[in-house]
Homo-oligomer: A and B are copies of this chain.
Amino acid sequence: MQNLTRTYEGKKVLITGGLGFIGSNLAHRLVELGSRVTIVDSLIPDYGGNLFNLSGIEGQLRINIADIRDKFGMLHLAQKQDYIFNLAGQVSHLDSVEDPITDLEINCRAQVNLLEACRRSNPTVKIVYASTRQVYGRPKYLPVDEDHPVEPVDPNGINKMAGEYYHLLYSRLYGLNACSLRLTNTYGPRMRVRDARQTFIGWWFRQIQEGDPIRVFGTGKQLRDLNYIEDVVDAFLLVASTPECVGHFFNLGAEAVTLHDLAELLVKANGTGKVEIVPFPEDRKNIDIGDFHGNYQKLKSFTGWQPRVMLADGLKRTIDYYRRYAEHYW
């Protein structure tokens, strides 16, 4: 593994979506590593941006509230950066079904504008795009590797896929140092837990803390894999500083777990709680992808990355965080 302090100390880093779950955790880590961090976030209600996420480091970075659809603003902000971690996005599958055009504007059109900005004013920047396992759609085999066909099952998946392909294309056509991480379920402190719009697991953290039963949809036997936020932050830092990663996309991933087992693990980590198996809600049935877990061997072979935080430990640390800071997330 690389010496990340040597890589990032004193470097200028832009994080789009930096008030969100992953972006803010990345910001905490980069401030620790001595980077000069600029955050861009639109604070669109319900998208996940939360000023409390930067609590304790507000004075050590620059927070710029702006929408990545703001072309000229982004042109300015993208200049003179050494690294861009590009995490801004609309991430609710259900919202993308209701309003595909807004999803397209943010996840596809705004990405092209950002890449054009880099091409014109900062062509040597290193840029990592936060993509998603959602581009694969319903797995045809498990674990899903990078050769698996892409067949998104909702507008969000199509737009994220297009946004990712643009990053790789600009690396091929114009030599931008871009690569992409296809994230699976990420969990941990600073995630949005207000409702189930974005992730089921965030909502579960809230349910269990409020003493509500955890509701598992369907049979409970669906497989998922989850990465703890610290591991995901590591993945971003590693691919951005590994030149061989340019032009590639990489799965993250972890050991598979059934949703039922995951819910039971959560109850155990919490010390108390109840699990209920309930039928699939109508609006989610269409866009559910069945079983999923990702093969992360490509990322491992390029960077040495592998998940380090065990599920039981990660769940416990997350529960502790929300016990302490519930008021900022409820």
Hey, which bits of chain A sit against chain B, CB under 8 A? Answer: 97, 100-101, 104-105, 108-109, 112-113, 116, 147, 149-155, 158-159, 161-162, 165-166, 169, 172-173, 286-287
Contact = CB atoms under 8 A, between A and B. Distances in A.
Given A147-B149, A150-B150, A112 B116 contact: no
A158 to B, nearest CB: 5
Given A100-B116, A108-B108, A153 B166 contact: no
B158 A286 contact: no
Contacts of A287: 173
A46 B106 CA distance: 30
A105 B108 CA distance: 11
A50 to B, nearest CB: 30
A324 to B, nearest CB: 41
Given A104-B108, A112-B100, A165 B158 contact: yes
Closest 6 CB pairs of A and B: A162-B162, A158-B165, A100-B112, A158-B162, A173-B286, A104-B109
Q: Which of A158, A159, A172 has the most CB of B within 10 A?
A: A158
Contacts of A154: 169, 173
A169 B149 contact: no
Contacts of A152: 165, 169
Contact of A173 (B97, B104, B105, B109): B97
Contact of A172 (B101, B149, B161, B286): B286
B155 A108 contact: no
What is the interface of chain A mostly: helix, strand, loop, or mixed? helix
Given A101-B116, A104-B112, 7 more contacts: A101-B112, A104-B108, A104-B109, A147-B149, A155-B169, A161-B165, A173-B287
A112 to B, nearest CB: 5
Contacts of A109: 101, 104-105, 109
B162 A108 contact: yes
A104 B104 CA distance: 10
A169 B96 CA distance: 12
A171 to B, nearest CB: 12
A113 B155 CA distance: 13
A158 B97 CA distance: 20
Contacts of A105: 109
A230 B153 CA distance: 34
Nearest to A109: B104
Contact of A149 (B97, B104, B149, B166): B149
Contacts of A151: 165
A303 to B, nearest CB: 22
A279 B251 CA distance: 39
A68 B67 CA distance: 27
A138 to B, nearest CB: 10
Given A108-B108, A116-B100, A155 B159 contact: no
A169 B158 contact: yes
Contacts of A112: 100-101, 104, 155
